Structure 1
Amino acid sequence: MESQSLDQNQLLEEILHQAEKLSTSDSRDRIVEKLYQNSSQLVQAGVTYTKNKHSQRTEKLDAIFTSPILGFPIMLVMLGVVFYLTIAGANVPSAMLAEFFGWIEGYLTLFFEMINAPEWLHGVLVLGFYRGTTWVISVMLPPMAIFFPTFALFENYGYLPRVAFNMDRLFKSVGAHGKQSLTMAMGFGCNAAAMMSTRIIESPRERMLAILTNNFVPCNGRWGTLIVLASLFMASGFTGGMAMVVTTSVIVGIVLFGIIVTFFVSWILSKTMLKGVPTHYTLELPPYRKPKIFDTVIRASLTKSLSVLNRAVKVAAPAAVLTWVFANIDIGGTSILLHIVQFLDPLGQSLGLDGYILMAFLIGLPANEIVLPVLLMGYLSTGELIDVEGIGDLKQIFLDQGWTCLTALNMMLFSLLHYPCGTTLINIYKETKSKKWTFMAFMIPTVIALLVTFVIAQLAKLLGWV
């Protein structure tokens, strides 16, 4: 009796083993392809179309946009166009907003002087709270007002599902899910929102992969830092339209590096902490539609841009106040801010950065938008959030602190790879209900950011570039 039961168990194990061998990614793809071919033949035999120009146009466009050869280059070009329009179009309105808020600040200062308000109250409310929030608005609002509507037009046209189709093969190769490309696209606007969008992934394992790796896509809060540093240092030898092209190319390169890191980390996690076979992803591609430009632009500008901006301001305002307090309270004749800088400087130097930069990222945990103004405040030791008059002044401040192209590159990479902002971490906890995975979502990018910048800094020293 026991022998018979043992034989049955061995037979069952053999059947399961053979089933696993049959259930490969290629076999599943061939089955789906065969089903599609058979259904297409049945439709052609049994259905008569009176007007088929639209379907023919869709198939012709899909042959281009989802082509294994042309699909990815077209994606890169589209990405570059979106970034170019964002970079080229945001500079002037950002400067106008900054000038407008500066004009209002002058009157606020006069009001505080008129009522004989204490200097510390003016510092906290105007130099900290007001400047911090208005910096976020002037830096974030113009890029969002361009980026979100442009991206929404691609979505409205029906192109984003084609992106997911193209990316599915890459994500499956690293053990993730093709729908992660859609959450990644959402992350370009706001990683906090992208965490909630991972609900479209049915598999808990693959959803966790998306949650842990989506941070490597730069959100809108990091665009300001990336664009400013790319234009100041990477495109410094160019002028006019060529400078815009170089800046865009650098930004696209940074984004591609983030995507490569996403694939690499997903592959590592799928082989270790989140083992498993990727679930099959069948995506029905919608037809191409003529975008409703006015409705799409208005909805994307008002709904998405203002909601993200509202979130950023709520989080950035306390950080701005905290920055002012740290910069204006002395311990032993030195401000708390400088104590933090001196403690962090050895680590910062080993990463090709400095203590001021690491301090700015620490205080910028609630919102990435505050990192650059906090950094400027620390460099100028003014105890207030600084608003320089022009981009030339900004570069000179960095050069006076010993910055090189390596410093700018490593700060851009650290900004790309480092831990999620406070709002994103809160959303991760809400989505996972786990302190462990929230901590991992913080630690994984932090370790990678430290490792990448350390390796680049040490290689630069070894090769004599610094």
Structure 2
Amino acid sequence: MLTNVFVPCNGRFPLLIALAGIFMGGAEGRNSLLAAGVVTGVVLSGIGMTFLVSRLLSRTLLKGVPSAFALELPPYRWPRIGSLLVRSFLDRTVFVLVRAVTVAAPAGAVTWVLANTEIYHESLLSLAARCLQPLAGFIGLDGYILLAFILALPANELVLPLLLMAYLNLGSLVELDTLEALGGVLRSQGWTWATALGVMLFSLFHYPCGTTLLSVYKETRSLKWTLLAFGLPLGVGFGALLLLKVILVFGQACALLQV
């Protein structure tokens, strides 16, 4: 419940693959093996962080709490196709969609207002990004990136469309047709391979989507555990980005000394 967010879901893989392909893969995918290696490394780091955080929790916050896993098997019988389809639709599809709409509708309204309301010829979206710039710059990102992750709370798939909407100063979500076009927009905003790597790490190590948080609250009926499920991976993400920033600064200093 607290650590499964460190393993990327389907909503995060498109971002990881796209950024690795653009900034690590090079022109025409000449370094495709490097891009694949970076994505694999990011995923493996998430798995490693899962074990590390689980061990730390078992020795601190969850110390002495017994852990058990119970698997209840249903009675064996021939499946009834009609009943199976109906129950799956009602119990799973509709249930998940209702939760998604519960989170997505308010977030979508906030995003639309921010993008389409201007103060002194500047959208509220740009103003919010400027307010977040000091914090984002501290961890090696920019205000637009951090704002995109905040507004993408309903679904991780929204990070790139929201980021493009903010960079291009549009009033609605947008998607580009090719990776070359996406790379051109990102590079025009000052992105480098280091920025891309930082965004990939933050995509892996940040709070789960709103639907997952609702599920955590429903399962635990505790605001404390829900906030912990939100704050724990976010803290890990900030720590990972700060560590990356220190490594990059140290590498640049070593390169200057050699010159």
SS of residue in 1 equivalent to 2:175: coil
TM-score (norm: length of structure 2): 0.81
Contact 2:99–2:214 under 8 Å retained in 1: no
Offset of 1:451 from its aligned partner? Answer: 1.1
Q: Which amino acid aligns with 1:449?
A: G
Q: 1:332 to 1:238 in 2, by over 3 A?
A: closer
SS of residue in 2 equivalent to 1:464: helix
Match of 2:45 in 1: 257
Offset of 1:236 from its aligned partner? Answer: 1.6
Q: 1:423 to 1:446 in 2, by over 3 A?
A: same
Contact 1:428–1:438 under 8 Å retained in 2: yes
Q: Which amino acid aligns with 2:181?
A: D
Contact 1:316–1:369 under 8 Å retained in 2: no
Match of 2:63 in 1: 275
In structure 1, C-alpha distance between the alignment counterparts of 2:221 and 2:161, rounded to whole Å = 34
In structure 1, C-alpha distance between the alignment counterparts of 2:157 and 2:55, rounded to whole Å = 30
In structure 2, C-alpha distance between the alignment counterparts of 1:226 and 1:307, rounded to whole Å = 29
Q: Which amino acid aligns with 1:430?
A: K
Q: Which amino acid aligns with 1:227?
A: I
Offset of 1:439 from its aligned partner? Answer: 0.8
Match of 1:290 in 2: none
Match of 1:228 in 2: 18
Match of 2:149 in 1: 361
1:375 lines up with 2:176 in the alignment:
no
SS of residue in 1 equivalent to 2:2: helix
Q: 1:227 to 1:346 in 2, by over 3 A?
A: same
In structure 1, C-alpha distance between the alignment counterparts of 2:57 and 2:155, rounded to whole Å = 27
Q: Which amino acid aligns with 1:369?
A: E
Structure 2's unaligned 5+ residue stretches are 72-84
Offset of 1:237 from its aligned partner? Answer: 5.2
Which deviations, in whole Å up to 9, do the C-alpha atoms of 1:103-128 show, x marking residues without a partner?
xxxxxxxxxxxxxxxxxxxxxxxxxx
In the TM superposition, what are the counterparts of 1:90-169 in structure 2 within 5 Å? Answer: none
In the TM superposition, what are the counterparts of 1:288-307 in structure 2 within 5 Å? Answer: none
Offset of 1:246 from its aligned partner? Answer: 3.8
Contact 1:221–1:367 under 8 Å retained in 2: yes
Give the count of matched residue pairs. Answer: 237
Match of 2:75 in 1: none
Contact 2:131–2:143 under 8 Å retained in 1: yes
Contact 1:319–1:363 under 8 Å retained in 2: yes
Match of 1:194 in 2: none
Contact 1:356–1:379 under 8 Å retained in 2: yes
Q: Which amino acid aligns with 2:237?
A: A
Partner of residue 393 from structure 1, selected from 181, 187, 192 = 181
Which deviations, in whole Å up to 9, do the C-alpha atoms of 1:154-179 show, x marking residues without a partner?
xxxxxxxxxxxxxxxxxxxxxxxxxx
In structure 2, C-alpha distance between the alignment counterparts of 1:387 and 1:441, rounded to whole Å = 30
Q: Which amino acid aligns with 1:220?
A: N
Contact 1:356–1:378 under 8 Å retained in 2: yes
SS of residue in 1 equivalent to 2:191: coil
Higher relative contact order (CA 8 A, sep 6+): 2
In structure 1, C-alpha distance between the alignment counterparts of 2:242 and 2:100, rounded to whole Å = 32
Q: Which amino acid aligns with 2:123?
A: S
Match of 1:441 in 2: 229
In structure 1, C-alpha distance between the alignment counterparts of 2:244 and 2:209, rounded to whole Å = 24
1:248 lines up with 2:36 in the alignment:
yes
Q: 1:459 to 1:329 in 2, by over 3 A?
A: same
Match of 1:332 in 2: 120
In structure 2, C-alpha distance between the alignment counterparts of 1:459 and 1:445, rounded to whole Å = 21
Q: Which amino acid aligns with 2:141?
A: L
Structure with a larger share of its residues in helix: 1
Q: Percent identity?
A: 45
Which deviations, in whole Å up to 9, do the C-alpha atoms of 1:158-206 show, x marking residues without a partner?
xxxxxxxxxxxxxxxxxxxxxxxxxxxxxxxxxxxxxxxxxxxxxxxxx
In structure 1, C-alpha distance between the alignment counterparts of 2:151 and 2:29, rounded to whole Å = 34
Q: 1:383 to 1:279 in 2, by over 3 A?
A: closer
Contact 2:206–2:237 under 8 Å retained in 1: yes
Contact 1:373–1:386 under 8 Å retained in 2: yes
Match of 1:453 in 2: 241
Q: 1:307 to 1:390 in 2, by over 3 A?
A: farther
Q: Which moved more, 1:351-360 or 1:321-330?
A: 321-330
In the TM superposition, what are the counterparts of 1:1-20 in structure 2 within 5 Å? Answer: none
TM-score (norm: length of structure 1): 0.46
Offset of 1:373 from its aligned partner? Answer: 0.3
1:214 lines up with 2:14 in the alignment:
no
Contact 1:324–1:385 under 8 Å retained in 2: no
Q: Which amino acid aligns with 1:219?
A: C
Which deviations, in whole Å up to 9, do the C-alpha atoms of 1:70-104 show, x marking residues without a partner?
xxxxxxxxxxxxxxxxxxxxxxxxxxxxxxxxxxx
Q: 1:356 to 1:311 in 2, by over 3 A?
A: farther
Moved over 6 A (4+): 280-283, 305-309
Partner of residue 239 from structure 1, selected from 29, 43, 63 = 29
Q: Which amino acid aligns with 2:9?
A: C
Q: How well do the aligned residues superpose, as a CA RMSD in angstroms?
A: 3.0
Offset of 1:282 from its aligned partner? Answer: 11
Structure 1's unaligned 5+ residue stretches are 1-210, 284-298
Greater CA radius of gyration, 1 or 2? 1
